[in-house]
Structure 1
Amino acid sequence: MPSYKLYYFNVRGFAEVSRLIFAAAGEKFEDIRYEHEHWPEHKAEMPLGQMPVLEVDGVKLPQSAAIARFLAKRFNLAGKDDFEQAQVDAVVDTIYDLVKALLPTLREQDEAKKQELLKKMFAEELPKHLQNLETLAKLYGKGGPFFVGNHLTWADLFFHSFVETLLGMNGTLLDNNPWLKQNRAEVEKNPKIAEYLKTRPKTER
């Protein structure tokens, strides 16, 4: 029986999709969360001096996407064949396009400028990315509520995790994207996911 340890900060962030994969699969893992002030004590322990890091039977794997993809394949949440896996990756890469567009705004230190950039982002940039995701869902989802193949994959879990932070800033974000809103609802209907969401640590992001 493999031993899993997932190292990250005490936030959802880039580790949450992997936590959701563990939850959906019903697999046990050690959820190791460092507060930011204690991170310098552990930085040298990580292969690239960054997190998240997954440790499998004593071997550490960095990079959030590599970790999530490995876990999804191991627990049958990556797509049922090579082409479905490529479709899942296309959805995930499209979500990362959204992440890349948003990060500079979130990292803005001037609060007034940050709010101005967020307003523009929600009005102009985000709708295009959300429409791209709906386009892929129509192509790959076979008419169901999930992004690929009418079954749960880590693309659904990644979308749920990332958009949760955005919904905390703007609760009406998905009002013009009913399919995406339904997709999140379907993820939350999964009993194992529902239990995890109910019991996980409460964090702002």
Structure 2
Amino acid sequence: MAEYKLYYFNAKGRAEIIRLIFAAAGQKYEDIRFEREQWPEYKQKAPLGQAPFLEVNLNGNTFKLGQSVTIARYVARKFNLAGKGEEEQAEVEMYGDQVSDFLNELVKVHFEKDETRQNELRKKFHEEILPNTLKTLDGKIAHNGSGYLVASGLTWADLFLVNILEWLGDKKEAALANFANLKALDEKVRSHSRIAEWLEKRPKTEM
């Protein structure tokens, strides 16, 4: 039986999608968190010198994996949260990459140091990137009829989307107001018994 150890800072950040997959699957793992000042110690163990990273012990052999979305895809395949069949799995990965692009735009706004440039990026994000992305994904959910991004049901792409929508904070409700399918997906995922349990018990952190 495989044993999983997930290493990341004491934050939701880019590791939360992986934690959500483990939660949805009901899979036990070690959620190893550390503070910023402890990172040099853990960095030596990371396969790419980055966090998060996953350590898998399988029959006495240790396997390490970096890059959050790569880890998410790997874990999702292990626990049947990656879609059914090669075509649908490719579709799930397409949506996952779209959410990644969306996240990168959001991060770009957050970390911009120049105030003028940050205001420009924020304006573009809220007036163009956010509504266009949500409109596209809302339409996909409406089209397939399952209430999720793909026809077979819940996948890691849904978890990733719900996770990143949370990054909008108090702007999320307004952002979803005109997208009934996305709002329903968000509510459905968050009320999933295992996910709801994780959301309730997870450590309270700023990010």
Does the alignment reach a TM-score above 0.5? yes
Give the total of aligned pairs.
203
Partner residue in 1 for 2:46:
46
C-alpha contact 2:166 2:172 (8 A) present in aligned 1: no
Structure 2 matches for 1:54-203, cutoff 5 A? Answer: 54-57=54-57, 58-110=62-114, 114-115=118-119, 117-139=121-143, 142-203=144-205
On the 8 A contact 1:160/1:184 being kept in 2, the answer is: yes
Following superposition, the deviation at residue 21 of structure 1 comes to: 0.6
Q: Does structure 2 retain, via aligned residues, the 8 Å contact 1:3–1:29?
A: yes
**Residue 100 of structure 1: how far off its partner (Å):** 2.4
RMSD of equivalent CA atoms: 1.7
Q: Distance in 2 between matches of 1:164 and 1:115?
A: 21
Q: Is the 8 A contact 1:91 1:136 kept in 2?
A: no
Which residue number in structure 2 is paired with residue 27 of structure 1? 27
Amino acid at match of 2:155: T
- Cα distance in 2 between the residues matched to 1:189 and 1:163: 15
1:114-153 Cα shifts (integer Å, max 9, x gaps) = 35532442122211111121233244xx312111114111
Paired letter, 1:124:
E
**Equivalent position SS for 2:51:** coil
1:33 partner amino acid: R
The two structures have a TM-score, normalised by structure 2, of 0.91
Matched residues in 2 for 1:123 and 1:170: separation?
14
> What is the CA-CA distance between 1:8 and the residue it aligns to?
0.8
User: Percent same amino acid at aligned positions?
Assistant: 47
Gap runs ≥5 in structure 2? none
Unaligned runs of 5+ in 1: none
State yes or no: 1:5 paired with 2:5.
yes
| Cα shift readout 1:53-105 (whole Å, capped 9, x = no counterpart) | 01000321111111101110100000011111011111111111212222221
Query: For the Cα contact (< 8 Å) 2:84–2:152, is it kept in 1?
Result: no
